[in-house]
Chains A and B, each alone.
Chain A
Amino acid sequence: MDLAKYRALFLEEATDHLSEMSRALLVLEKRPDAREAIDEVFRMAHSIKGMAGSLGYDAITDLSHKLEDTMERFRSDGVVPAGEAGMALLFAGLEGLETMVAAVRADGEPAAPDSALLRRLEVEPDPQASGSLGSLEPDPKKVAMS
């Protein structure tokens, strides 16, 4: 495998995907049930996972995989909850991936995984907690202000 060629392809495509993900998250901030935006974030995480896995970037693979799993839950529910269990978590995931991709660009290898973020993504939301899946009521005004 021509690593230099694939690393360049990865950087180009992952950067585009993260921009798309950012745009989709901004849409979801205003409309947390925007189906196309939910699908978009899911697909971008999935695609980054596939590319990173091919290059052995385990930290990026792990984070994007957990982000993909989180989006799979939100897809099933048809909505991204506000608060720490939802939008804030997705923005943190995006930021984590951006940091790791930037490290690949600078150093040729992804940054070390953010274990706290990975743990947050692993936790199933508590249905009783504020802002979690179970307590979410589709109130766009409330979400827009959060």
Chain B
Amino acid sequence: MKRILIADDASFMRQMIRDIIEPEGYEVVGEAADGVDVIEQFLELRPDLVMMDIVMPKRSGIDAVKAIKVEDPGATVVMCSALGQEMLVMEAIEAGAKDFIVKPFKPDAVLTTLGKVLEKEI
């Protein structure tokens, strides 16, 4: 079972992701509400994949990707973006994120992206 860490400052969004992926066999090992918390939880939990919001307090999702990739260059991160954040998504991909999904979340798109990214990691 793949272990997922969810980072989003809105508990609404974290719950929504959890409800989409858990029934499909993913294990949510942690939830982080800001860009510092996600780095700390990543180091402790070493998940298979991080779902990372871009706009978060304390440190942005992009900063968090950079910090995580320094600690673990093989880390797998998927960005959660909103429409209109294309430039930020590009920056996150350049920082090492593997892919992105766009809010509002469509369950099929979320699951397809996770499946695709994790398949590449095998």
Contact = CB atoms under 8 A, between A and B. Distances in A.
Interface in B1-19: 9-13, 15-16, 19
A13 B11 contact: yes
Contact of B12 (A6, A39, A40): A6
A53 B84 CA distance: 14
Contact of B10 (A1, A2, A42, A47): A47
A120 interface: no
Contacts of B15: 6, 9
B115 to A, nearest CB: 21
B11 A50 contact: no
Interface string A40-63: 101100110111011000000000
A74 interface: no
Nearest to A65: B84
Interface in B54-99: 55-57, 82, 84
A50 B57 contact: no
Interface in A22-78: 39-40, 42-43, 46-47, 49-51, 53-54, 65
Nearest to A5: B15
B57 A13 contact: no
Contact of A51 (B13, B19, B57, B84): B13
Contacts of B103: 50, 53-54
Contacts of A50: 10, 12-13, 82, 103-104
26 contacts: A1-B19, A6-B16, A9-B11, A13-B10, A13-B11, A40-B57, A42-B55, A43-B55, A43-B56, A46-B55, A46-B82, A47-B9, A47-B10, A47-B55, A49-B82, A50-B12, A50-B13, A51-B10, A51-B12, A51-B13, A54-B12, A54-B13, A54-B103, A54-B104, A54-B105, A65-B84
Query: Across chains A and B, which 8 residue pairs bring their CB atoms closest together, nearest first?
Result: A54-B104, A53-B104, A9-B12, A51-B12, A50-B103, A47-B10, A46-B55, A13-B12
